[in-house]
Structure 1
Amino acid sequence: MSDFLISIVAVVAVLGFMILVHEFGHYAVAKWLGVRVEVFSIGFGKRLFGFRKGDTDYRVSAIPLGGYVKMSGENPMDERTGDPAEFLSHSRWHRFLIAIAGPLMNIFLAVFLLTTVYMVHYEYPVYLDTPAVIEGVKHDSAAAQAGLQAGDRIVRVDGIENPTWEQLQPRVWLSPNQPLTISIQRGDQVFEKTIVPKAVTTSEVGSAGWFPKQPVIVGRLEAEMPAAKAGIKENDRIVAMDGSPMGSIETMIERLQQTKEKPVELTVIRGGQTLSFRMQPVLSKTEDPKEQRYRLGFLNKGETAVTKLPFTRALSLSLQENKKYSLLILELAKKIAQRKVSLRAVSGPIGIAQDAGYAAQQKGWTPLMELMAGISLNLGIFNLLPIPILDGGVILFLLIEGLMRHDISLRIKERVYQAAFVFLVLFAVMVIYNDLMKTIPGLAGRLP
């Protein structure tokens, strides 16, 4: 099956399941509280088949992207009959529970999926847990301009003391073209520096231009590129280039820009054997459409550790990770609203399809489960934003009405919903447009 078809199947399955779980949350709580559910649909559009049980039509519809729940009288513009089974006939507390149930189901699912992954096959890059000691600095980068050097240790950033690389990276990514103050330890001295991460790649995330020590281990190879042609294989460990040790993939990338098209010799460890391969770099596109560089054509996957955690530790770690990423999502939304981060940092259905297709082609099912956990968390947090039409908007109206002790007029609600609908349509158009702009030039990941 082609990469395109795998991506299409994967994104339909992943998004469909995420939205279905979300809608089931609304459905289950509505039924529990006595609200009449008229339709529970898997998919959108024309009804294909199904059955009726009680007041509910359970159906499968033509467009297999999620689903929806239709409750009696849930639309403020619908005519109200006073039937106690209608959504708006119930107390604000009941309506609040129904509204929040969908996002909570997505958040619970994210916690469940990550807990399962950590119990079965917890794989993570080793360097992420190590102190943020700089292995090298890219020429003409923000770090180089600030005078940072190999061997410097970052001991403070954005209020975080002695950060690991995992803690440091999001601070940089979320600060494109924005000053970021850090404390550096060099020998026995500690001093402050201010760097301005450059906006890089099509997502325009921040990059300081420093990099950690991380072994070069070959991941996915590009066909018809020098590495594949020379006989390099996945999981080969590249320890030297032209006799010089390779401490990180960035070191190799920097060296290739210096040697340009001059043939290079790689020293590789494969299954306990030391092998040599000679190849000629080629000038090729990268993950940034504005940049070309000399490359060999493989993805570096670095060194990873694999373990299994007992249930209590897996659950604890899953809760920690979901909390951390929830805060990062909210910070990203805040910085986008402040125009400090580009909207290009947000992926839409095309970007999700690419990620889902790549995860589906990895060995085992845990990469896809991790991606599903991330998407489910994003969906849950996004729906809690106080935007009318979204669940967070319904909750906001309920809170305002509770403080006012009376309902907001239907005329005001209608105008607000119309404006919110236009906003969400424009937002979706912008996200899809950015997806297309990022996809057309071609994304190559971290490609040496």
Structure 2
Amino acid sequence: MHIILFLLMLSVLVFVHELGHFLLAKWNGIRVDSFAIGFPPTLWQKKVGETTYKINLLLFGGYVSIFGENPDDASLSGPDSNRSMVTKSWWRQITVLIAGIIFNMLFAWFLLVLTLWIGAPMSARDSVLPIRDPHMTILSVLPDSPAENAGLHMGDKIESIEFFSNNYTEGATRNIVINHPSDTDATITAIRNSDRIMMNVTSPHAVKSHDVEIIPTTGILDTGTGKAIGITLDVVGTARASFFQGITHGFMQTVYMTGGMAKGLWGLITGSLSVKYITGPVGLVGIVGAASSVGLVSVLMLMAMISINLAIINIIPFPALDGGRILFVIIEKIKGSRIPPAISNTVNMIGFGILMLLMLLVTVKDVVHLF
């Protein structure tokens, strides 16, 4: 079930991305030969006008075949070359290439607006909207952490730790005390899907009797040893917005998420963030499953995050990505002549191969983690 939900989510996001390319190509008078969701083999296809629409078996992506996107003799000087992308002005080419990125961002905005209209989980610290039913909530659980081993999940509402009740009130200090002997587990009581569950969590070091502070960025931190049990916590309640509030706050959330993801990507590039945090399709299935167990709003928010992530990745100036193709167009504009098709096509093909290899490596990492 989780796999099906993940494939549906991915198919919708790819459809939105490719729809952007498709519509802007049509608007610019460029011929579109096919519009496909997924990769072959083909399950269904229908030709309408000049475009063949396809649904393929492997729902891990999709594509739009735009005439002249990969230049050849036919698109450069053939009888239909006036409808080729490569013969259009530089700015028209860029509008087509960047359209998928913009559509992903707009779709993420729409999803976040929708969650606010329905009633979205939001941090009591950051929300300017009224918060209902605030609880200390687990935002994430690190792989192979004591918290994961104990069975804690994203979305669990922490009711108490040991014998300290976590009754949150606005402005209350967020400190709790673990009072139990060394070398024993800490019992955490949580609410999951209206059910009360109790779990024993073993900290990385023997936890002695002293304060344990709840910190949004690091989870439950043993202040004596500086070790965490591997969860990210915050006080979260339900925020519901009016029509116009949803639009404005949804936009601000989109900007905030985009900045956070861009910062994370930069950390991966510079090496300040470990590659172990990269998740591929297999890992995303588990994340989608965790989100679906929380509810529809969590699924929509995760979908918005993935949509933003797709946009950020595609703007990177790397061959085969939209950003790489945009870079080629800018280079051609600056130098005043076309990059030889043999060079641009070969570079894009190599870039695509590298991306597929990276995807394979991340998938293998996710599979190994399962065992």
Match of 1:47 in 2: 42
Q: 1:52 to 1:124 in 2, by over 3 A?
A: same
Name the amino acid aligned to 1:360: S
Pick the aligned partner of 1:241 from 162, 184, 187.
162
Match of 1:214 in 2: none
What TM-score comes out, normalization by structure 2 length? 0.73
Match of 1:38 in 2: 33
Q: 1:373 to 1:357 in 2, by over 3 A?
A: same
Match of 2:67 in 1: 72
Name the amino acid aligned to 2:20: G
1:411 aligns with 2:335: no
Where 2:86 maps in the other structure, the secondary structure is: helix
CA contact (8 A) 2:157 2:190 kept: no
CA contact (8 A) 2:14 2:62 kept: yes
Pick the aligned partner of 1:353 from 262, 269, 285.
285
Match of 1:195 in 2: none
| Aligned equivalents of 2:89, 2:68: Cα separation in 1 | 13
Where 1:47 maps in the other structure, the secondary structure is: strand
Can you list the C-alpha shifts for 1:242-282, whole angstroms capped at 9, x where unaligned?
A: 5x566899957x656835169x7x8999xxxxx9x9x8947
Q: Mean Cα displacement is larger for which, 306-315 or 93-102?
A: 306-315
Match of 2:13 in 1: 18
Q: 1:281 to 1:398 in 2, by over 3 A?
A: closer
Where 2:30 maps in the other structure, the secondary structure is: coil
CA contact (8 A) 2:43 2:54 kept: yes
1:336 aligns with 2:268: yes
Can you list the C-alpha shifts for 1:179-208, whole angstroms capped at 9, x where unaligned?
A: xxxxxxxxxxxxxxxxxxxxx94599xxxx
Matches within 5 A, 1:24-423: 24-77=19-72, 79-80=74-75, 81=78, 83=80, 84-127=82-125, 201-202=142-143, 237-238=159-160, 241-242=162-163, 251=176, 255=179, 258=182, 260=184, 281=200, 303-363=235-295, 365-423=296-354
1:426 aligns with 2:350: no
Q: 1:235 to 1:358 in 2, by over 3 A?
A: closer
Can you list the C-alpha shifts for 1:137-163, whole angstroms capped at 9, x where unaligned?
A: xxxxxxxxxxxxxxxxxxxxxxxxxxx
Can you list the C-alpha shifts for 1:379-410, whole angstroms capped at 9, x where unaligned?
A: 01111111111111111111111111111122
CA contact (8 A) 1:260 1:281 kept: no
Superposed displacement of residue 427, structure 1: 2.0
Superposed displacement of residue 311, structure 1: 2.6
Where 1:123 maps in the other structure, the secondary structure is: strand
| Aligned equivalents of 1:352, 1:56: Cα separation in 2 | 32
The structure whose Rg is larger is: 1
Where 2:337 maps in the other structure, the secondary structure is: coil
Superposed displacement of residue 284, structure 1: 9.9
Gaps of 5+ in 2: 129-139, 168-172, 205-230
CA contact (8 A) 2:151 2:199 kept: no
CA contact (8 A) 2:189 2:199 kept: no
Superposed displacement of residue 105, structure 1: 0.5
Superposed displacement of residue 429, structure 1: 2.5
CA contact (8 A) 1:249 1:300 kept: no
